[in-house]
Amino acid sequence: MSCIASELSGEIGDNGVMAALDTAVVDAGPLSAGHQVRNASPAIRSRPGGGPWSWPKVTSVPGRQPAARPAWAHLDENLAVIAMIEVTAATLAAHPFLHGVSPDHLAVLAQAASDATFPAGHRFFEDGGHATCFWLVQSGHVTVDVDVPGQGRVPIGTIGMGELMGWSWLFPPFLWAFGAVAAGPVETFEFDARTVRVQCACDPALGYEVTRRVAEVLTKRLKSTRSRLITVSIQPAGTR
């Protein structure tokens, strides 16, 4: 059994390995000369009054900003269209979070990535939900919040262009520690978390690079939180 199959077995059980590998082959393989698509099966949707798609250049994805709407597409605000644009090592290399990562490792990560744009108000995840993806923000801002009993969602920070969104996917039990919602239109590189964990387990050097960079982000954000707490603590009680 290959490293990929072995790691998938550990995550989803032996019975699910072959199905997962089939998905991985589709994920990594080129769709055509200029495009590739992750999770191909959900992309095959029925046209209104017609048959299944024959691999068009757009695919319906719930909650994402439309790149273009064909004349036959009947879509509401919860069902949008996203262009199936190939993510390459070169495009990932331009993102600040991945500066300095080797081309070989970038090529591996690109297999788990897609280019995704989300509309204002899109909720990426909820506090306590399963962490199945993470994102590198290319443009726009995301508000991070936490669910406070009796108060609802309370904003605690902002993630912007060039930053990593999401770290809970890397550490068991893979549950989000916060929530996140798009403050406006947000363009991202979206990564399948399980695929990246498997890639990191099979290549310790890649695993070290990813873990180190995530740890640096956590350290920076903890320092920022500490500074805010100190600022709040020295304010008069009536002004907090």
Flag whether 80 is in a domain. yes
Whether residues 161 and 55 fall in one domain: no
pLDDT in tens, 198-215: 999 999 999 999 999 999
pLDDT at 5 over 70: no
Whether residues 154 and 101 fall in one domain: yes
Task: Check residue 129 and give its pLDDT.
Answer: 96
Whether residues 143 and 191 fall in one domain: yes
Phi and psi at 164, nearest 5°, equal: -85, 135
Percent of the chain with pLDDT over 70: 59
**CATH code at position 173:** 2.60.120.10
Task: Check residue 20 and give its pLDDT.
Answer: 42
Flag whether 210 is in a domain. yes
Flag whether 37 is in a domain. no
What's the rounded mean pLDDT across residues 95-106?
A: 98
Task: Check residue 223 and give its pLDDT.
Answer: 73
Structure tokens at 219: 């350290």
Flag whether 92 is in a domain. yes
Whether residues 77 and 126 fall in one domain: no
Distances in whole angstroms, Cα of residue 159 to Cα of each of 81, 164, 173, 196, 222: 24, 8, 23, 21, 14
SS3 131: coil
pLDDT at 19 over 80: no
Whether residues 1 and 47 fall in one domain: no
Cite the beta strand spans of 129-235 per DSSP E.
133-139, 142-148, 152-159, 164-165, 179-182, 186-192
> Range of 164's domain?
87-240
The phi-psi region of residue 49 (left if phi > 0; otherwise alpha if psi is between -120 and 50; otherwise beta) is left
Whether residues 127 and 165 fall in one domain: yes
Whether residues 52 and 168 fall in one domain: no
pTM: 0.68
Whether residues 22 and 72 fall in one domain: no
Q: Are 19 and 7 in contact (CB under 8 A)?
A: no
Q: With the C-alpha atoms ordered 175, 178, 183, 187, is the resulting torsion angle positive or negative?
A: negative
Whether residues 68 and 134 fall in one domain: no
pLDDT in tens, 130-166: 999 999 999 999 999 998 899 899 998 999 999 999 9
Domain count, the chain: 3
Structure tokens at 135: 């994102």
pLDDT at 39 over 50: no
Whether residues 138 and 71 fall in one domain: no
Percent of the chain with pLDDT over 90: 52
Structure tokens at 158: 């902002």
The position carrying tokens 């989000």 is 176
Task: Check residue 67 and give its pLDDT.
Answer: 42
Q: Write down the mean pLDDT value for the chain.
A: 74
Phi and psi at 200, nearest 5°, equal: -65, -40
